[in-house]
Chain A
Amino acid sequence: MHRDHDEAFPERRTYSAADPVRRDGRRRALRIGLGGPVGTGKTATVAALCRALRDELSIAVVTNDIYTREDAEFLLREAVLPAERIAAVETGACPHTAIRDDISANLGAVEDLEETAGPLDLVLVESGGDNLTATFSKGLVDAQIFVIDVAGGDDIPRKGGPGVTTADLLVINKTDLAPYVGSDLEAMARDAKAQRGHLPVAFTSLTTDDGIKPVTDWIRERLTDWSAGPA
């Protein structure tokens, strides 16, 4: 989609995910999208990732709230990152449009964060809570995580849909609640495997110490692959 021309103005480079290298020759920040239904723990996952990785990586977050600024404010209140590393995008009641069909506002937010807080190693783009078909444009992110939880019903992996089936990582959150809501974790793992083939699945419980570890491990692997790409 995005076409850059050679002579243009470096101060206005507009890196879509198609352009992995900054004008100065360094690789730009790895961009990871986090999507999933309402209330599954996307913002809590982002907060836990920031806490786990902020000492070793330069991180920024873009939130896509549906009708409030609550997600951005939650991250600010929890002080997981300084305010200049968090940007909120408004989505006009259509969260999937802002991450897939019209990514211009999100790309602008990423660009602003690079300018004010960069250089960055990792940008997390959190979608507003949406349905099982929400996926990120490849023009916006390099990889995407889909977050569901055990309390939303253990048949969600079996139902599939683009988020569950194609996300680079499927996170099944709130495993600590499984006994209370009668969710069968083994069946969820089996169904996810059937839907996703070799694509990875991470079970998380953010109420336990280091419960985010399966996700941080996965992100570290992605960062290693990303840094090893052509500069």
Chain B
Amino acid sequence: MSRAALLVLADGRFPAGGHAHSGGAEPAVAAGRIKDAHSLEDFCRGRLHTAGLVAAALAAATAAGRDPVAVDEAADARTPVLALRITARKLGRQMMRAARATWPSAELDALAAARPQGAHQPVVLGLAARSAGLTPLDAGYAAAYEAVSGPATAAVRLLSLDPFDATAVLARLAPDLDQTATAAAATAARISDEGFDALPAASAPLLDITAQQHATWPVRLFAS
């Protein structure tokens, strides 16, 4: 394995469709809940410890070799909102396309065949990490970072926020990212004893509600 593969996978320019999604930042900006770097940081921290933690744990579990279809079902159970299930599968399909081209593997092919319209994105991300020879902790890091880098990039476009400020927000979240990725890898390791109930089910109700509302907006910059 090469640890550097994590840099490739977590790069915001990895061509897996993330650029068209705001991770809930667009409705939060419209509602005035994100209006500057400070409120962006609060939003990102909240998303990281809820949706981000769940995504990181799903990615870590898949990277650890758990049956991806079973993890995908666990992802469905932890995604109550239809709009977010659709988004997760759409992004999963795009991630699958990029992953099969960059780190081809029989496991990726098998999941693509089992879920032709896309598995949940964190599951595909975890399997991509596994195909790249990365660890469950690495997969947790990639998923956790994506949970905050997406909204931060979107906020720059939505608010014309100073890009240096937005990047500083991400840097300040580094200890939280360490904590989330480590917790995700730890829960993934407990699945053999406790089953999939070991995976976290943290939720952010406002993210869920506004995601469903955002899906009906006729004019928007981001797909989600």
Contacts and interface: CB of A to CB of B under 8 A. Distances in A.
Interface of A: 1-3, 5, 8-9, 11-12, 14, 16, 66-69, 89-94, 97-98, 101-105, 107-108
B84 to A, nearest CB: 15
B22 interface: yes
B66 interface: no
Contact of B22 (A8, A14, A92): A92
A1 B98 CA distance: 9
A92 B223 contact: yes
B166 to A, nearest CB: 15
Interface of B: 13, 15-22, 90, 93-95, 97-98, 100-101, 104, 109, 112-113, 116, 154, 157, 218-223
Contact of B19 (A9, A97, A108): A97
Contacts of B218: 68-69
Contacts of A105: 17, 20, 94
Contact of B17 (A1, A11, A14, A102): A102
Contacts of B154: 92
B219 A68 contact: yes
A222 B179 CA distance: 56
Nearest to A115: B116
A141 B25 CA distance: 32
Given A11-B116, A104-B16, A92 B109 contact: no
Nearest to B220: A67
A103 B13 CA distance: 11
Contacts of B109: 5, 8-9, 12
A65 to B, nearest CB: 10
B13 A14 contact: no
B104 A92 contact: no
Contacts of A92: 19-22, 154, 157, 221-223
B24 to A, nearest CB: 14
Contacts of B93: 108
Contacts of B94: 104-105, 108
A104 B222 contact: no
Given A92-B154, A98-B19, 11 more contacts: A2-B101, A14-B97, A66-B221, A69-B218, A89-B20, A90-B220, A93-B157, A94-B20, A97-B20, A102-B17, A104-B15
A40 B209 CA distance: 39
Which of A9, A68, A90 has the most B CB atoms < 10 Å from its CB?
A90
